[in-house]
Amino acid sequence: MSAFLKNVDGEVYAVEVDGHIYGIAGADGLAERARTTAEADRIAAETARVQAEILRGSAEKERVTAESARAAAQAKNNADQALNNERMMKLQPHVCVVGEYDAKTRIPTITKPNDAQLYLVPLSDSGAPGSDGDAYAEWRYVAKRWERLGVSNVDVSRITTDDIDRVSGGTAVGGESILNLTGLKYLWTKISAAIERVDTAHKTLHSALIASLSKKSDVDHTHDTATSRADGFMSSYDKRKLDDIDANANNYTLPQASAYTKGGVYLSDSPDKSKGPYSGYALTPSALASAMTPSSWTTIWSQGQWFIKCRKLGKLVELAWAFNQENGNNWQLSDSERIPYDMRPDVNISGITVATDWYANSLSDLRACYYIDTDGRMSFRIHNSRGGVCNRGHCTWIAGR
């Protein structure tokens, strides 16, 4: 005798043979549960590590952005200071204003000129260029006298750090101001900071991507073979079985059943479509229930309490009658009193019926019979003469129409 032993979860953990119990290694499921739990814990820890790495990357990005902003602000301050130093050293041309030059001669009248300074005097009070395009007369103070060097239409104003900030911030700025080396240094600082921000964002994204893809490559780890309960890689055995399946093996259409073909049938609510066993159609449950409900009685002949009626259930026809018939005569109905066409038999039929008195008591000494032909004509006969006799009965057949 042998039997499998199961735990409360329905898992087989041992087999009993002739009174001896043999445990099945790993059948209790504990080792598999422990492995599954450990794997779930490892995945949760890895997910938490990746999320922490992404948060750390975001914090680093914010720190770098703040540092870039600080460096840019410091560079701006340094550039502004350098421009101030440049002005202090008189390296930038001085544009004379009203009161610093003679309005008629256009000679500078500055009392303490710097002999290293270039002085520009407007050629007109409005400061607009003349017809030749010149706007300023260039003067230098040499050997304690003013010397005119020439004229110029150049815009000698410098591009400031504020101008650079507006341009880098997307503001449209126009003009003909020039960019000196000090402004160029500040501009390069702004460009370098922008490049650093882009590079930092790229490195953060790259680090997060590497962290999320860590240990997902088959280069440094393996997957368990997939089972019906756990994901994994396809085994070579499963791959061979898959390769053995013919192309388009599941591309199948069930043919309609016929006398020579096995297949499916169409459900129909119309009894006309389900004629014959090989029609390929079958009645729906509702149509079948309707087909199993007999039709109403059709009266072929009636007189007072006497009648001849028929009704139909599918192809099954029932004929019932009760009438007075005495003296052993043969009674045949007229041609107009026939069984409806769709209820007529396909062969002539006859049979024994019951003779009774008017009170429905059976008269066993009489013989009564009926006859029905394929044209729906009926005749009834009592073989012995006797008064007060009723012919009662019913019969069934399969309609042939």
The Cα 367–Cα 383 span in angstroms is 6
Residue ranges of E strands in 222-329: 266-268, 281-283, 298-303, 306-313, 316-324
Give the closest residue to 372 by CA, choosing from 398, 306, 363: 398
Q: Give me the pLDDT at residue 103, please.
A: 87
Q: Which residues contact residue 201 at a Cβ distance below 8 angstroms, ignoring those fewer than 6 apart? A: 61
Q: How far is CA 245 from the centre of its chain?
A: 29
pLDDT digits (tens, 9 = 90+) for 59-79: 888 888 888 888 888 888 887
The CA dihedral of 103, 105, 108, 109, to the nearest 10 degrees, is -70
H or E segment and range at residue 95: strand 94-95
Q: How far is CA 253 from the centre of its chain?
A: 27
Q: Give me the pLDDT at residue 300, please.
A: 93
Q: Give ∠ CA 282-288-294 in degrees, rounded to 5.
A: 140
Q: Which ranges of the chain have pLDDT less than 70? A: 1-2, 4, 6, 8-15, 19-20, 22-34, 84-92, 127, 130-132, 152-157, 176, 213-222, 271-280, 326-329, 358-366, 384-387
What domains lie within the chain, and their CATH numbers?
93-157 (no CATH), 259-284 (no CATH), 298-398 (2.60.40.1830)
pTM of the model: 0.34
Residue ranges of E strands in 247-346: 266-268, 281-283, 298-303, 306-313, 316-324, 330-332
Q: Give me the pLDDT at residue 93, please.
A: 79
The Cα 96–Cα 111 span in angstroms is 13
Residue 186 · residue 179 · CB < 8 Å? no
Strands 145-152 and 266-268: unpaired
Give the closest residue to 382 by CA, choosing from 351, 363, 361, 355: 355
Distances (CA, A) of 246 to 161, 234, 254: 75, 19, 18
Residue with tokens 């590079």: 199
Tell me the HSE value of 396 on the side-chain side, using a 13 A CA sphere. 9
Residue 18 · residue 2 · CB < 8 Å? yes
pLDDT digits (tens, 9 = 90+) for 322-353: 888 766 667 778 888 999 999 999 999 998 87
- Which phi and psi angles does 371 have, rounded to 5°? -145, 130
Q: Give me the pLDDT at residue 261, please.
A: 78
